[in-house]
Amino acid sequence: MDSSNKARVHWACRRGMRELDISIMPFFEYEYDSLSEDDKQIFIRLLENDDPDLFNWLMNHGEPADPELKRMVNLIQQRNQQRGPVAR
């Protein structure tokens, strides 16, 4: 997926689990544009994983084996925590 095609990346952020939408969508909306090109590609790779894996990683019930994906999960958690709850 091309990182400059924000509509496709936005669509890929939509998940089948509300808990994932609450974590991933605000990160995309508030942080994606400020990511480096490399981090955008890592974020896109993260989105290619199955919902159960994403859920477990984002809820600290395990972590990805890939260190880049692990760093991205940590970044999502950190930025979401710094920003606080986002009204939907």
Is 41 contained in some domain?
A: yes
- Structure-token match 């894996």, residue found: 53
Query: The CATH number of the domain where 63 resides is what?
Result: 1.10.150.250
Is 51 contained in some domain?
A: yes
Distance CA 74, CA 43 (A): 11
Q: In one letter, which amino acid is 77?
A: Q
What's the domain range around 55? Answer: 6-83
Is 88 contained in some domain?
A: no
Residue 37 sits at φ, ψ, to 5 deg, of: -60, -40
Is 15 contained in some domain?
A: yes
Task: Output the tens digit of pLDDT for each of the chain's 88 residues.
Answer: 778 899 999 999 998 888 898 999 999 999 999 999 999 999 999 999 999 999 999 999 999 999 999 999 999 999 999 987 665 5
- Tell me the whole-structure pTM to 2 decimals: 0.90
Q: In one letter, which amino acid is 87?
A: A
Q: How many domains does the chain contain in total?
A: 1
What's the distance, CA 54 to chain centroid? 8
Is 1 contained in some domain?
A: no
